[in-house]
Amino acid sequence: MKRFLVIGASGTVGSELSKILQTMGLEVRKATSKQKTASDQVHVDLLTGKGVPEALNRIDGLFLMAPPGHVNQHEILNPVIDQAKAAGVRKIVLMTAMGANAIETAPFRQVEIKLEKSGVNYNIIRPNWFMQNFNTFWIQGILSAGKIFLPVEKAKGSFIDARDIAAVAAKLLTSDQRNNQDFDLTGDEALDHDQVAEILSKATGKKISYENISPAAMLEGLLQAGLGRPYSEFLLMILDFFRQGYAQRTTDSVKAILGRDPIRFEKYAQDYRTAWKG
């Protein structure tokens, strides 16, 4: 396998995945829904389907994920699976999310089922909450108030570093050894948000603490940040799964696939510490 299409190539996971594949000497087509700014980019708008057939032309492997902000992932991604099959793509690695397979009718699960039944070689990866959320989605409270504001009480999460997700995706895309298997990807320890805040404080030298907020306050913050109501309510629902303890489980998938331990939260905090300098 030589030529890969990476959906979300400018995003947290896709940018790392593209780097890894290019370092391996493989050809990467980086999908973007924006104006192309580099010769290795291809224009793909998953919401309209524009550019999808061209981008899939003569591709060996596809990394597929849903852009955040939408709750109808099956409507966005299922047609791409059909088109990839028709184009003769040999392997698809689909990223959904840990817990996506809990309810068979859930939109993400509908995409997984579509892929499982497609006849195309595949892997499904279901990462837990990303460590990188603390330098992206949750950063505003840290920068403005030194606080992580979330409605998850003392629940723990086995956060995963997006660089590990990308490394796993690269391994699966470039090998047929584990074809047609699915993997829940987690870090190897579960932390609550007081522990996260303590690690971030140590790495930055700034006092960062966790404040539990009400679901209503969280929803208000998400809406004010410009997220649509359906996606905000979806985030609130999965944050409540976190609060109930569903994000605590650890798996050994990262180690089994990469042959090394997952990145620890301390290392993530060190590597990204300039993000929280403000």
Ligand X SMILES: NC(=O)c1ccc[n+]([C@@H]2O[C@H](COP(=O)([O-])OP(=O)(O)OC[C@H]3O[C@@H](n4cnc5c(N)ncnc54)[C@H](OP(=O)(O)O)[C@@H]3O)[C@@H](O)[C@H]2O)c1
Residues that bind ligand X (CB under 6 A): 7-14, 31-34, 44-47, 65-68, 95, 97, 127, 129-130, 133
Least Cβ distance, residue 122 to ligand X (angstroms) = 16
Give bridge partners of residue 30 from the DSSP assignment.
Answer: 6, 41
Least Cβ distance, residue 154 to ligand X (angstroms) = 19
Q: How far apart are alpha carbons 215 and 19 in whole angstroms?
A: 37
Least Cβ distance, residue 133 to ligand X (angstroms) = 5
Least Cβ distance, residue 11 to ligand X (angstroms) = 2
Q: Which is nearer to ligand X, 104 or 119 (CB)?
A: 104
Least Cβ distance, residue 205 to ligand X (angstroms) = 26
Q: How far is CA 252 from CA 187, 249, 259, 262, in A?
A: 8, 10, 10, 9
Q: How far apart are alpha carbons 85 and 109 in whole angstroms?
A: 19
What kind and span of H or E run contains 184?
A: strand 181-185
Q: How far apart are alpha carbons 268 and 160 in whole angstroms?
A: 9
Least Cβ distance, residue 100 to ligand X (angstroms) = 8
Q: Which is nearer to ligand X, 48 or 214 (CB)?
A: 48
Give bridge partners of residue 57 from the DSSP assignment.
Answer: none
Cβ-based neighbour number of residue 229 at 10 Å: 10
Which residue has its beta carbon closest to ligand X? Answer: 11
Q: Which is nearer to ligand X, 11 or 262 (CB)?
A: 11
Q: How far apart are alpha carbons 90 and 75 in whole angstroms?
A: 22
Least Cβ distance, residue 61 to ligand X (angstroms) = 17
Q: Which is nearer to ligand X, 61 or 107 (CB)?
A: 107
Provide the token pair at 246.
Answer: 């569903």
Give the DSSP letter string of 146-171: SEEEES-TT--B--B-HHHHHHHHHH
Give exposure, 111-141, as e/b (b: 16+ Cβ within 10 Å). Answer: bbebbeebebbbbbbbbbbbbbbbbeebbeb
